[in-house]
Amino acid sequence: MEGGERAELRRLMARLAGGDRAAFEPAFALLWPQVRAFAARYVAAADAEDAAQAALLRVFSRASEYDPERDALAWALGIAAWECRTLRRKRERRREGGVPPPDRPDPGESPEEAVIARDLSAAAEAVLGTLRRIDIETITAAAAGSGLRGAMFRKRLSRALGRLRIAWRARHGGR
Amino acid sequence: MAADELDLRLQARARRAYELGRLLAALRLAPFVLAAAGAAIACGRPFPVTCALALPLLLLSVGLAYGGGPAGRAVVPGLLAGAGALAAPLLMATVGHACFGPACMSLALPACVVGGGLAGVVIARTTVRRDADLPFVLGALAVAALTGALGCTLAGAAGVLGMLAGVVVAGAPVLVATRR
């Protein structure tokens, strides 16, 4: 999304939060492609449409809580990340047999540790969703070990991690 | 089914989700209105009179907050401003002041006027701080008046009128002076 569109979305979401229904259609037109693309990246292709729709409905149901000081796209994608995660976990629970889920806990972990690890992972994913796309890509590349290893990448990673820390503190305090 | 039609159906569902979300957010104000009514009843205000004031206050608060706009943003400041006007006469009653006959009027009526004055100042200052317009002022006044009336019925119709006079007399000069 271009900077102008992003600013426009921010204005539209602020108007929606204030109860201006005329902003609904343009906000929908800007948000839906973004949420759909985001869901397609984070959920299996078969579930992407369901996840995107659930995320979009959640975003609009919480539109009156939107704080105009925040970036609307980051806020919406944070909610979308949470919805994607919830849907993925729901699907994993329903799945009988088959391939074990990728984030299956370490056999050495106690059930309590596994639950804590899962909650932490979900919280981190939700916070990650509030960052800019470039930050998400940088952190994801670093975690996968596939990023460039130049000074430029390290600088970008450092800035992205700094923003992740700030976003984490804003959402979860000092925990 | 065409993609456009799917998008339209999704848009309709999103719109319903938005409206429902607004309604639920507006309903979060209901406990404050019920608490104000509960306080009035606990301090001895008659149940039918309190209900007759609390029900319109509840509908007005939730309706304005759901609708949004300047009037919707005025609900919380209106409730806060009206809480002062509600508390003043009720405090008079709870500290042992006589609450019937001419003796009641000696303190309850001035308390209503002072409470209304405080409400007027709060509304005027909030209006100026937010650079709000007429719908905001009217919304806040209506909510504050109904909230204050829950307590000011203690001094009868004179108490309610005194409170309203206090709102106007104290609020208007503050609004005019700070707008200049």
Of residues B160, B129, B166, B141, the one with CA closest to residue B79 = B141
CATH level 3 topology of A3-104: Rna Polymerase Sigma Factor; Chain: A (1.10.1740)
CB contact at 8 A, B53 and B112: no
Q: Is the ipTM of this complex over 0.85?
A: no
pLDDT the model gives residue B88: 79
Nearest residue to B43 via CA among B152, B141, B125: B152
**b/e code A16-34 from CB counts within 10 Å (16+ = b):** bbbbeeebbeebbebbbeb
**CB distance B11–A25 less than 8 Å?**
yes
How far does A56 lie from chain B, in Å, by closest CA?
Answer: 7
pTM higher than 0.90, yes or no? no
- Token pair in block for residue A47: 């579930």
Among A24, A56, A57, A59, which would you mutate to test the B interface (most chain B Cβ atoms within 10 Å of its Cβ)?
A57
Please tell me the distance in Å from A26's CA to the nearest CA on chain B: 11
Give the integer Cα–Cα distance in Å for B103 and A172: 56
CA–CA min distance A49, chain B (Å)? 11
- pLDDT number for residue A146: 59
pLDDT digits (tens, 9 = 90+) for B80-97: 999 988 887 777 766 665
Give residue-wise pLDDT tens across range A12-62.
999 999 999 999 999 999 999 999 998 888 888 778 888 899 999 999 999
Tell me if residue A146 falls in helix, strand or coil.
coil
Q: For residues A76 and A35, is the Cβ–Cβ distance under 8 A? A: yes
**CB A20 to CB B13 under 8 A?**
no
Averaged pLDDT for residues B144-168? 87
Residues 6+ apart with CB under 8 A from B61: B26, B29, B30, B32, B33, B75, B78, B79, B143
- Given this model, what pLDDT does residue A101 score? 52
Amino acid at A144: A
**Mean pLDDT over all residues of chain A?**
80
| Rounded Cα–Cα distance for residues A130 and A38 (Å) | 12
State percent of chain B over pLDDT 90.
Answer: 41
Phi then psi for residue A106, to 5 deg, are -60, 135
Which residues, given as ranges, of chain A have pLDDT below 50? 105
Q: What is the pLDDT of residue A113?
A: 67
| Residue A170 Cα distances to A70, A121, B136, angstroms | 12, 17, 31
Return d(Cα A48, Cα A37) in angstroms, integer: 9
